[in-house]
Amino acid sequence: MPVHPRGRAEGRKLAANAVGSCPQEQPHSAHGPRHRRPVTVDRALVVSWLHRGTLHLVPAADHHWLHALTAPRQLVHNARRLGEEGVPPADADRAVEVVMSSVRAEGPLTREQLRDRVDAAGIRTAGQAIVHILMAATLRHALVRGPVVDGRHAFVDVESWLGPMPPVDHDAALAELARRYLRGHGPASARDLAAWSGLTLGDARAGLAAIAEETEPWGDDNLVVRRDHRDARPPPPRLLGPFDPLLHGWTDRPRITGPHRGVVTTNGLFRAIALVDGRAVATWRWERGAVDIDPLEPIAPDALVALGADADDVRRFLG
């Protein structure tokens, strides 16, 4: 794979076919270069609004309890946003009914198709109103994203797609979320868990307290899963896309970004980054048929080779 000088000694341009959008905006990219077929078709994974009201790709078997934990707080925010978009509560309820009757009668429908149905009922969909209407139906556990139709996720009735929602033990679900979070993000604190999940600080503390026998302290107020950290190794060098979930994992982002302030902009944009030894060492963007890497610090030659291989993998996926 060709590597071209960029003016700065550390700069590199890595030829690849990559995309610069969030995975949830391009369904084929949500599953990585090694998974060409959208796995949402097989219903093994599902895309839905979960933590922090953000679209997440999760195992279908986990959707019900993650939804039960995260939806209540998001419903309050959703109602406020609908009001800001000119959709009063009565209209929101009616819009959800239109959406659900449409997908139950017609099967999977895209956002544009559902906009038409809600428009026909005389309910406002302009601006971001339709997005928050669909989110309302999702948070009420009636709607979920299903198959990809013409490159876009279509929406379906959640029970017809995933089956009935089983009962959820709230305390057990909090414990499981805390356990999984620490395995992927430890050392971390209750505040980190709350920020990552969108749960209250009280719920985050309760979840961590429930697994206290499985954890041990790390520093002042952080925890790790016992023994997990002893054999931990940094991940291999990787190119991560914009708004990668890694940067939402803690309240303290400098553990990933170091002193580099350009990774997250003042207006809230999360740049695509190159990760080496678990730290951001560069930003990158897709430009003129290549991945253009802009180093934030010197990058070792072997790490550059690994980043080039990662870009090659993306090229093979899209080629």
Residue 236 has pLDDT above 80, yes or no: yes
Distance CA 73, CA 205 (A): 17
CATH topology for 50-162?
Answer: Arc Repressor Mutant, subunit A (1.10.10)
CA 184-190-194 angle, to 5 degrees, is: 80
Residue 15 has pLDDT above 50, yes or no: no
Six-digit token pair at 23?
A: 């995975």
Reduce the DSSP state of residue 66 to 3 states and report it. helix
Banded model confidence at residue 5, pLDDT cuts 50, 70, 90: very low
- So what's the pLDDT on residue 20? 26
Q: Kindly report the pTM of this predicted structure.
A: 0.81
Banded model confidence at residue 229, pLDDT cuts 50, 70, 90: low
DSSP state of 123: -
Six-digit token pair at 251?
A: 């309240």
Nearest to 43 by CA among 139, 163, 134: 163
Nearest to 142 by CA among 158, 131, 130, 154: 158
CATH topology match: 50-162 vs 170-225: yes
Residue 96's CB is within 10 A of a number of other CB atoms, namely 21
Banded model confidence at residue 123, pLDDT cuts 50, 70, 90: very high
* Contact by Cβ (8 Å): 251, 191: yes
CATH 1.10.10.10 holds for 170-225: yes
* Contact by Cβ (8 Å): 279, 250: no
pLDDT digits (tens, 9 = 90+) for 150-208: 888 899 999 999 999 899 999 999 999 999 999 989 899 999 999 999 999 999 999 99
- So what's the pLDDT on residue 233? 77
One-letter identity of residue 51 = H
Domain ranges of the chain: 3-20+241-318, 50-162, 170-225
pLDDT digits (tens, 9 = 90+) for 132-143: 999 999 999 999
Distance CA 145, CA 166 (A): 19
Banded model confidence at residue 228, pLDDT cuts 50, 70, 90: low
* Contact by Cβ (8 Å): 85, 132: yes
Residue 281: CB partners within 8 Å, gap ≥ 6?
A: 273, 274, 275, 295, 296, 297, 299, 303
DSSP state of 290: E
Six-digit token pair at 151?
A: 């490159």
DSSP 217-270: EETTTEEEETTTTTT--PPPPEEE-TT-GGGGS-S-THHHHTT-GGGB-TTS-B
103: left (phi over 0), alpha (psi -120 to 50) or beta: alpha
Residue 44's CB is within 10 A of a number of other CB atoms, namely 10
Reduce the DSSP state of residue 315 to 3 states and report it. helix
* 232 strand-pairing partners: none
Residue 281's CB is within 10 A of a number of other CB atoms, namely 23
Residue 296 has pLDDT above 60, yes or no: yes
